[in-house]
């Protein structure tokens, strides 16, 4: 599979989600994706593990970041987000991916969730996973979305 022709489902890893909601400039290119999620044009799919990673309160947060975390927590608990439980099937797949690709636990869980939920695109912050197809899921970083115009694949 190459890059998807149309994005209907997306999974963002924790650092991409946090970068987006805290307003980091590198993640501004993902705002149209979040707008499409708000409009119901794209379904956000996340592992329940994301609730641990982006917990609603963090001791180091200033007022703005605390508000952003609360907004993100609300999004993750809303009907716009499909939460996939980290069950035995996900854990086994994550273990396989961790061994095959040398991934850390959280990265393996997110990729396993994306694969098993048949997500179109998995957006990651770093390059631990090279851009490309992983069992039908297109993995990319937020910078590639803007530079390669993958956002042009989103519904208008």
Dump pLDDT digits (tens) for 101-126. 999 999 999 999 999 999 999 999 87
DSSP 8-state symbol, 29:
G
Q: Evaluate whether residue 127 is within a structural domain.
A: yes
Question: In sequence order, what E strands does 80-123 have?
Answer: 81-84, 121-123
- Average pLDDT, rounded, for the chain: 84
Q: Evaluate whether residue 114 is within a structural domain.
A: yes
Q: Evaluate whether residue 1 is within a structural domain.
A: no
What mean pLDDT is predicted for residues 126-136? 86
Model confidence at 149: pLDDT above 70: no
Q: Evaluate whether residue 145 is within a structural domain.
A: yes
22 confidence band (pLDDT: 50, 70, 90) = confident
Q: Tell which residue, 3, 5, 13, 40, has the closest CA to residue 110.
A: 13
Task: Say if residues 115 and 135 touch (Cβ distance below 8 Å).
Answer: yes
Q: In what order do the strands lie in the sheet with 9-12?
A: 81-84, 43-47, 9-12, 121-123, 137-140, 132-134
Q: Evaluate whether residue 42 is within a structural domain.
A: yes
Question: How many domains are contained in the chain?
Answer: 1
Q: Evaluate whether residue 3 is within a structural domain.
A: no
Tell me the range of 72-76, 84-88, 139-143 where mean pLDDT is highest.
84-88
Q: In terms of residue numbers, what domain contains 42?
A: 9-153
CATH of the domain at 134: 3.40.50.1010
Q: Evaluate whether residue 118 is within a structural domain.
A: yes
Quote the CA–CA distance of 4 and 86 in Å, as a whole number. 26
Model confidence at 128: pLDDT above 60: yes
Q: Evaluate whether residue 4 is within a structural domain.
A: no
């Amino acid at each position: 599979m190459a890059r998807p022709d149309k994005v209907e489902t997306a999974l963002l890893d924790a650092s991409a989600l946090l970068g987006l909601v805290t307003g980091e400039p590198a993640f501004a290119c993902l705002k149209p994706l979040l707008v499409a999620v708000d409009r119901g044009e794209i379904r956000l799919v996340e592992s329940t593990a994301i609730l641990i990673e982006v917990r609603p309160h963090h001791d180091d947060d200033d007022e703005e970041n605390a508000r952003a975390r609360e907004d993100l927590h609300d999004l993750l608990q809303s009907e716009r987000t499909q939460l996939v439980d980290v069950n035995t099937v996900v854990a086994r797949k994550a273990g396989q991916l961790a061994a095959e690709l040398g991934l850390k636990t959280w990265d393996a869980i997110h990729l396993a969730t994306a694969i098993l939920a048949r997500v179109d695109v998995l957006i990651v912050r770093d390059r631990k996973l090279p851009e490309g197809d992983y069992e039908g899921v297109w993995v990319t970083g937020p910078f590639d979305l803007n530079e390669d115009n993958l956002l042009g694949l989103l519904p208008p």
